[in-house]
Amino acid sequence: MSNSLYSFAEIEPKWQKYWEKNKTFKTKIDKSKPKYYILDMFPYPSGNGLHVGHPEGYTASDIVSRYKRMKGFNVLHPMGFDAFGLPAETYAIQTGTHPKITTENNIKNFTRQLKMFGFSYDWDRKINTTDPKYYKWTQWIFLQLYKKGLVYEKETPVWWCEGLKSVLANEEVVNGKSERGDYPVKRVMLKQWMLKITKYADRLLEGLDKLDWPESVKEMQRNWIGRSEGAEVIFSVDQREEKIKVFTTRSDTLFGATYMVLAPEHPLVEKITTDEYKEEVENYKKQAMTKSDLVRTELEKDKTGIFTGGYAINPVNNQKIPIWISDYVLWGYGTGAIMAVPAHDQRDYEFAKKFEIKIIQVINGGDIDKESYEGDGIHINSGFLNDLNKEDAISKMNSWLEENNYGKAQVNYKLRDWLFSRQRYWGEPIPLYKDEAGKIYPMKESELPLKLPETEKYKPAGAGKSPLANIREWVEFEDNDGKKYFRETHTMPQWAGSNWYYLRYISPDSESRLVDENDEKYWMPVDFYIGGAEHAVLHLLYARFWHKVLFDIGAVSTDEPFQKLLNQGLILGTDGEKMSKSRRNVVNPDDVIKEFGADSLRIYEMFMGPIERPKPWSTKGLGGSHRFLNRIWRLYIADNGELNPNIKDEKSSEEFEKEFHKTVKIVGEHIEETRFNTAISQMMVFVNTGYKENILNREMMTKFIQLVSPFAPHIAEELWEKMGIAENLTYSSWPVYNKLKLVEDTIEYPVMINGKMRSKVVVNADDDNDKIKEIVLNDSRIQKFIEGKKIFKFLVIPKKIVTVVIK
């Protein structure tokens, strides 16, 4: 159906080979040029190959790369693979194929596909996170974190699925069952490695202000970090030594605290529970362990809880208040305990109503018989806070707490430390080991990389244990001192490799450092980073965290890694739904390239709509983009294969020349603004105009090829060659437009009367307002409307519109 006039099937491989052979995109430091580092989020090389969503962002970054080269920048534009991950391991468990082999094959396939698009990557810088030469440095960074005291071990629950004999991630657990196989899952307590990202919370928050990122992504990160100012309050436990610390943003409501709630996992629960309640509490704890945090904190859900039999003392009035446990309080969030003020918190209110706990109103307002009141107001029933408003009451209470050693003002973060252990085989081994007494030792940097051992058993070794635990000869070793040591068997999460890959591209072969010092200073920061919005929080936050640590130890010279960020929108199926195998609406780029060529696919994906918006696929629309390339081709090449005889050294018409300069202006500006769809539509206008012209000035037509080249590089190279130009297109200078050509001698003004468009008048560009008014009032159409009416206002908005108000 794609009746092509130009043979993309020959042209595209021809130029891809040419670029590869000539190393056209090889990048070196060149201090005579400004640098530009433009980065794609590197893909996980899945067995399915590329989908049409990948090339959307990659084409956008390729257009900018090619444009910047022509603008005289030294451009670094690399690609690599984030190749550790679950699918290869699952496949290994099923088939016995080593993940290394699967990964190698997939990378080959991905590379083949990426090359078919003609992306201008410097392939000599390709990286692969599973290469020991690469993960040596991932492990090295981990050791630096360890040395800085940012690594610690903590007992935390993980999801264990007996049916799958595997530990599952939160996302893999749906309604207390495994997403795959629907087996029950349970919480298992396990010692795991944590990274103290919370230590960097403030800097991660402040750093956002300087970044040229979408506001939505910055906002998401701010919410994720979740800084809140409040107070720590210390409650003592009735008849016991222990204290309970809570964090609250509403210390002013302390007089209304009528009970406390501990997370079921809170270690104090066991101590304070009286014999009478022991059994119930134990049962409740077991139940809570099966629920995910998401389910537990759902607002609408029915509140559950159990009284422990213990009491705490409210420090402000020495009242005994009951201590409950409930799953709506999470362990690992804040202090795992809350003071409950049912009168002024909705969840506490529902809880208190259900279990008939006392509700004391301490702020005037609302109707406490019906619902909690969370607004501001005058404090009542609050001793020394009475008559104060919220703000004043908070500050007075915080001073009181501090003076009396019952707490202090405190900043709290929603951000939690980063759980860094995975009970998997296909990940970076953690370079730590323990002796028989359990003492932890970091490996020496000179011993890195700690390679993954070969094995044929990829299944986990048992509840919460990694497959590596099966390989005794790897785990146990004797050091020179003759003592026995045990390696850590957990591996790093997939984020680890992707956390710093942008640095490795800068000097992929450096053996002495993770990134060469001089090269790093030249290339960093990444000027422009393009990728999916799904990484708005985790990847982009973790990478910023590591980067700041590297900055602190002097390994990098910038405080932030990614200056500008763009999220491309999802490409949906023709049905407007997310592409998925089960919906059978997946479009395969291999098929598209076979039928229409890579240039057509590139142009189409850029022309679909604004890059950052989600948009549905249209096969017809793709045909239109292909037709556009054919029209370009025919504008240059006649049916006999020779150059179009209209292309000559004579001057083109005034109009066509004007359109050309306008096109140069718009295409350049719109690339800078990443508005590729409108850049393309302007090129279409130029081509449409060109079809009506008899004289296509050779110089203009040459420059137009340059405008096309970032978008459709193959056809551009071919036409460039057919025009007989020897200069290297990739490094030719981007055309400059002549401003004077765009200045009009005359201006056509639309004339509005009482807000309605009534006529148009043409005036000379240098006519003053009086002259314009004269022309307008003499216009016959205008006269018809203003006849017998009084002119109230007469406005000329320069170069825009004339507006008349009559009555």
Q: In this complex, which beta carbon is closest to RNA, that of residue 216 or of residue 399?
A: 216
Please give the structure tokens belonging to residue 694: 């008899």
In whole angstroms, the minimum distance from the beta carbon of 691 to RNA comes to 4
**Degrees to nearest 5, angle at CA 87 with 81 and 90:** 140
Q: In angstroms, give the least distance from the CB of 453 to RNA.
A: 34
Q: Concatenated DSSP letters for 36-97?
A: EEEEEPPPP--TT---TTHHHHHHHHHHHHHHHHHTT-EEE---EE---SHHHHHHHHHH--
DSSP 176: T
For residue 221, the Cα-to-chain-centroid distance in whole angstroms is: 10
Give the dihedral sign, CA 337/343/345/349: positive
Q: Residues of 525-542 as b/e, b for ≥16 C-beta within 10 angstroms?
A: bbbbbbbbbebbeebbbb
Residue closer to RNA (CB basis): 297 or 381? 297
Report the nearest approach of RNA to the CB of residue 801 (Å).
4
The label of the residue with tokens 């390989």 reads 471
Query: Exposure of 664 by Cβ count < 10 A (0-12 exposed, 13-18 middle, 19+ buried)?
Result: buried
Closest separation between CB of residue 571 and RNA, Å?
10
Per DSSP, the residues of 546-576 read HHHHHHHTTS-S-S-SEEEEEEEPPEEPTTS
Shortest Å, Cβ 221 to RNA: 9
Q: Between residues 396 and 675, which has the closer beta carbon with respect to RNA?
A: 675
Q: Which is nearer to RNA, 121 or 213 (CB)?
A: 213
The DSSP H or E segment spanning 793 is strand 791-797
Minimum distance of RNA from residue 151's CB (angstroms): 24
Instruction: Give least dist CB 71 to RNA, A.
Output: 22
Nearer Cβ to RNA, position 433 or 596?
596
**Shortest Å, Cβ 710 to RNA:** 17
- Minimum distance between the CB of residue 764 and RNA, rounded to whole angstroms? 16
Residues 365, 367, 371, 375: what is their CA dihedral angle, to the nearest 10 degrees?
A: -10
Nearer to RNA, 3 or 32 (CB): 3
Is the Cβ of residue 268 or residue 632 nearer to RNA in the bound state? 632
Peptide bond into 525 cis (omega under 30): yes
Half-sphere exposure of 102 (CA within 13 A, CB side): 24
Please report how close the Cβ of residue 690 comes to RNA at its closest, in angstroms.
9
Q: 653-656: long-range contacts at Cβ-Cβ below 8 A with a sequence spacing of 24 or more? A: 653/693, 653/695, 655/689, 656/689, 656/690, 656/693, 656/695, 656/696, 656/697, 656/700
Instruction: Report the distance separating Cα 695 and Cα 691, nearest Å.
Output: 10
Rounded to whole angstroms, the Cα distance separating 770 from 501 reads 65
Triad 606, 610, 612: Cα angle to 5°? 105
- 584 DSSP 8-state letter: T
179/160 Cα distance (integer angstroms): 13
- Can you say how many angstroms the Cα of residue 13 is from the centroid of all Cα atoms in its chain? 33
The residue among 44 and 406 lying less far from RNA, judged by its C-beta, is 44
| Residue with Cβ nearer RNA (270 or 575) | 575
Separation of alpha carbons 388 and 367, rounded Å = 20
> Least distance in Å: CB of 596 to RNA?
12
CB of 535 to RNA, least distance (A): 10
Phi, psi of 263 (to 5 degrees): -65, 145
Minimum CB distance to RNA, residue 367 (Å): 18
Helices marked H in 372-512: 390-403, 472-475, 495-498, 501-504
Nearest to 246 by CA among 452, 19, 412: 412
CB of 757 to RNA, least distance (A): 4
- CB closer to RNA out of 175 and 239: 175
d(CA 710, CA 705): 10
Nearer Cβ to RNA, position 13 or 332?
332
> Which region holds residue 788: left if phi is over 0, alpha if psi is between -120 and 50, else beta?
left
d(CA 327, CA 297) in angstroms, rounded, equals 8
Q: Which is nearer to RNA, 2 or 510 (CB)?
A: 2
Instruction: Return the number of the residue (144 or 663) whose C-beta is nearest RNA.
Output: 663
CB nearer to RNA: pick between 73 and 351: 351
Q: Where on the chain is the footprint of RNA (CB under 7 A)?
A: 3, 215-216, 219-220, 223-224, 294, 297-299, 533-534, 536-537, 578, 607-610, 613-616, 618, 620-621, 623-625, 627-628, 630-631, 634, 675, 677-678, 680-681, 684-685, 688, 691-692, 748, 750, 752, 754-758, 760, 781, 793, 795, 797, 800-801, 803, 805
